[in-house]
């Protein structure tokens, strides 16, 4: 099990922290399966934009707020840091503001996100 940090984490100035990054295999309406892998060793098969939920934003970020969902260019987030948030352990990642493609207030349809490091393993979601 990985290390868990306890207590509140607040991002500085222009930083964005996200949780529940979208993972899991996808199947398009045409039947094409998009793997969950992020590894270049897998032939970049899982390289695609991902949705994540905003955990907190820094004081200079005025276009996003907590709990909105952002769509990020692939790879524009950091490795996860596990924190205790109430009764739940969530993985927090630093999102690159320049890699944000868009946002919405509600969870996007078909997003597979459990907040764990390897969620959605073996799960296939129709998109």
Class of domain 4-126: mainly beta
**Residues 50 and 38 sit within 8 Å (Cβ to Cβ):** no
The domain locations on the chain are 4-126
Among 53-57, 75-79, 111-115, whose mean pLDDT is lowest?
A: 111-115
Question: For residue 40, which phi and psi values (nearest 5 degrees)?
Answer: -65, -25
**Hey, is 98 helix, strand or coil?**
helix
Q: What is the mean pLDDT of the chain?
A: 80
pLDDT tens readout for residues 33-50: 766 655 555 555 567 788
**Residues 83 and 104 sit within 8 Å (Cβ to Cβ):** no
In whole angstroms, what is the distance from residue 22 CA to residue 86 CA?
Answer: 22
Global pTM value: 0.76
**Residues 9 and 92 sit within 8 Å (Cβ to Cβ):** yes
């Amino acid at each position: 099990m990985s290390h868990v940090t306890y207590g509140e984490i607040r991002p500085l100035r222009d930083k964005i922290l996200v949780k529940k990054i979208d993972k899991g295999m996808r199947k398009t309406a045409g039947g094409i399966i998009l793997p969950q892998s992020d590894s270049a060793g897998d032939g970049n098969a899982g390289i695609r934009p991902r949705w994540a939920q905003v955990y907190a934003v820094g004081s200079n970020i005025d276009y996003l707020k907590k709990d909105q969902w952002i769509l990020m260019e692939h790879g524009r987030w950091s490795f996860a840091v596990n924190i205790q948030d109430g009764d739940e352990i969530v993985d927090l990642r630093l999102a690159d503001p320049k890699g944000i493609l868009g946002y919405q207030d509600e969870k996007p349809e078909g997003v597979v996100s459990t907040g764990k490091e390897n969620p959605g393993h073996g799960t296939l979601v129709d998109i």
